[in-house]
Amino acid sequence: MARRSDHSKEELEKLIFDTANKLVEQDGLDAMSARKVTTAIGYSPGTIYSFYDNLDELTLAVNGKTLDLIYNKLEKAISKAKSSKQAIKAIAEAYLNYAQKNINRFRALYEFNYSQESGQSLPNWYQDKVTRIFELIDAVLNRNHCGNNEQAKVLWAGIHGIAILSLSGKLDSVKVKSSKKLLENYLDIYLRGIKK
Amino acid sequence: MARRSDHSKEELEKLIFDTANKLVEQDGLDAMSARKVTTAIGYSPGTIYSFYDNLDELTLAVNGKTLDLIYNKLEKAISKAKSSKQAIKAIAEAYLNYAQKNINRFRALYEFNYSQESGQSLPNWYQDKVTRIFELIDAVLNRNHCGNNEQAKVLWAGIHGIAILSLSGKLDSVKVKSSKKLLENYLDIYLRGIKK
DNA sequence: AGCTCATTTTAAACGGCGTATAATTAGAAG
DNA sequence: CTTCTAATTATACGCCGTTTAAAATGAGCT
pLDDT at B196: 60
How many Cβ atoms from other residues are within 10 Å of residue B178's Cβ?
Answer: 11
Q: In this structure, is the dihedral angle defined by the CA atoms of residues A148, A152, A153 and A155, taken in order, positive or negative?
A: positive
Nearest to B168 by CA among B70, B99, B88, B78: B99
CA neighbours closer than 13 Å in the CB half-sphere of residue B192: 13
Q: Do A171 and B109 touch (CB under 8 A)?
A: yes
* B50 Cβ nearer than 7 Å to chain D strand: yes
Report the mean per-residue pLDDT for chain A. Answer: 88
Residue boundaries of the structural domains of chain A: 7-52, 59-195
Instruction: Calculate mean pLDDT across residues B19-23.
Output: 98
How many Cβ atoms from other residues are within 10 Å of residue A82's Cβ?
Answer: 8
- Does the fold of domain B59-195 match that of domain B7-52? no
* B35 Cβ nearer than 7 Å to chain D strand: no
pLDDT at B150: 78
How many Cβ atoms from other residues are within 10 Å of residue B119's Cβ?
Answer: 7
Q: Which fold has domain B7-52?
A: Arc Repressor Mutant, subunit A (1.10.10)
Convert the pLDDT of each residue in B111-169 to its tens digit.
898 876 655 788 999 999 998 998 898 888 877 666 677 788 888 889 999 998 887 65
How far away is chain B from the Cα of A41, in angstroms, using its nearest Cα? 24
Chains A, B: CB contacts under 8 A, how many?
158
Nearest to B145 by CA among A152, A150, A193: A193
Instruction: Calculate mean pLDDT across residues A144-170.
Output: 78
| CB distance A19 to A37 below 8 Å | yes
Res B23 pLDDT > 70? yes
Domain formed by B59-195, architecture = Orthogonal Bundle (1.10)
Q: Which residue of A has its CA nearest to B138?
A: A174
Q: Do B165 and A182 touch (CB under 8 A)?
A: no
| CB distance B66 to B57 below 8 Å | no
Residues in chain B: 196
Q: In this structure, is the dihedral angle defined by the CA atoms of residues B162, B89, B191 and B146, taken in order, positive or negative?
A: positive
* A43 Cβ nearer than 7 Å to chain C strand: yes
